[in-house]
């Protein structure tokens, strides 16, 4: 299916080029989600091995790096004037790579998922010996934040100079991708804090509401954008 879409994307025309690449690299997100799901499920059924602990996060980060690198390759040097297919596809694919990085971090955070059920039997705040070391907690918590910030900055940069259809399109689409990255901050931090047994009452409020706000913002933003005519120049 991916090969068919990619071939479709080789045709002449902005729509075909963008659709072919975006749909193909949406598969990278699916691969990362598989890695996260497999990490959790194999622990639940008692078949999680040392090899799994290494392989699934590695696959996720490789998919993220490859997707982001290809996206950057497309838009670096591509003119942003008009509805340039390389500029649009590149930024969107790059954004998909950042989402992959967040999902890969979910998989990495979930390598100690089995501790969550054990922590439910102990006092809150008592960090189990098998939990992540402090340095790992800082790194895992920082990765989705950094990726979300990069995504938002890319969106803001394009929206601030949305004088062409390409920038206008990229600005709005990447904003939606940034909202997904922001939601994944909540997921990563929820898993890490439960593994560390530091998940408290405030976490039960903050993280679900962050996801609700981001989802609502995306729906309102998308609806408003579809009802408002673009102010970008139609020139190419």
**Is the pLDDT score of 3 beyond 70?**
no
Residue 58 and residue 152: Cα distance in Å, rounded? 26
| Per-residue pLDDT tens over the stretch 178-221 | 999 999 999 999 999 999 999 999 999 999 999 999 999 989 98
pLDDT-based confidence at residue 112 (cuts at 50, 70, 90): very high
**Is the pLDDT score of 155 beyond 60?**
yes
**Is the pLDDT score of 64 beyond 60?**
yes
**Is the pLDDT score of 11 beyond 50?**
yes
Residue 86 and residue 88: Cα distance in Å, rounded? 6
| Per-residue pLDDT tens over the stretch 67-101 | 999 999 998 877 766 668 889 999 999 999 999 99
Q: How many CB atoms within 10 Å of residue 208? A: 12
| pLDDT at residue number 113 | 94
Residue 185 and residue 146: Cα distance in Å, rounded? 10
Write the Ramachandran bin of 170: left for phi over 0, alpha for psi from -120 to 50, otherwise beta: alpha
Residue 65 and residue 6: Cα distance in Å, rounded? 19
pLDDT-based confidence at residue 235 (cuts at 50, 70, 90): very low
Residue in this structure with the two tokens 């949305």, named with its chain if needed:
162
For residue 228, the 8-state DSSP code is S
By C-alpha distance, which of 43, 80, 142 is closest to 89? 80
How many residues are there in the chain? Answer: 236
Please enumerate, as own/partner, the contacts of 10-19 that have beta carbons within 8 Å and a separation of 24 or more: 13/85, 14/83, 14/84, 14/85, 14/88, 17/85, 17/86, 17/89, 18/85, 18/88, 18/89, 18/92
The answer to whether 8 and 19 have CB atoms below 8 angstroms apart is yes
Higher pLDDT, 233 or 70: 70
Q: How far apart are the first and last CA of the chain?
A: 32
Question: 202: buried, middle or exposed (CB in 10 Å: 19+, 13-18, 0-12)?
Answer: exposed
Average pLDDT over the chain, rounded to an integer:
87
């Amino acid at each position: 299916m991916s090969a068919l879409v990619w071939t479709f994307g080789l045709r002449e025309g902005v729509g075909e080029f963008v659709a072919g690449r975006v749909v193909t690299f949406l598969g990278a997100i699916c691969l990362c989600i598989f890695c996260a799901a497999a990490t959790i499920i194999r622990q639940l059924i008692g078949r999680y091995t040392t090899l799994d602990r290494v392989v699934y996060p590695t696959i996720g980060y490789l998919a993220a790096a490859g997707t982001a690198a290809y996206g950057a390759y497309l838009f670096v040097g591509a003119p942003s004037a008009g509805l340039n297919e390389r500029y649009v596809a590149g930024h969107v694919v790059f954004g998909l790579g950042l989402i992959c990085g967040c999902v890969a971090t979910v998989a990495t955070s979930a390598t100690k998922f089995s501790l969550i059920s054990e922590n439910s039997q102990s006092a809150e705040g008592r960090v189990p010996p098998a939990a992540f070391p402090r340095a790992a907690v800082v790194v895992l918590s920082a990765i989705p934040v950094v990726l979300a910030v990069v995504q938002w900055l890319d969106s803001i940069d394009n929206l601030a100079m949305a004088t062409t259809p390409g920038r206008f399109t990229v600005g709005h689409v990447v904003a939606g991708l940034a909202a997904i990255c922001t939601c994944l901050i909540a997921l990563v931090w929820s898993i890490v804090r439960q593994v560390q047994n530091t998940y408290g009452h405030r976490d039960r409020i903050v993280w679900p509401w962050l996801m609700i706000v981001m989802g609502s913002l995306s729906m309102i933003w998308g609806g408003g954008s579809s009802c408002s005519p673009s102010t970008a120049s139609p020139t190419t």
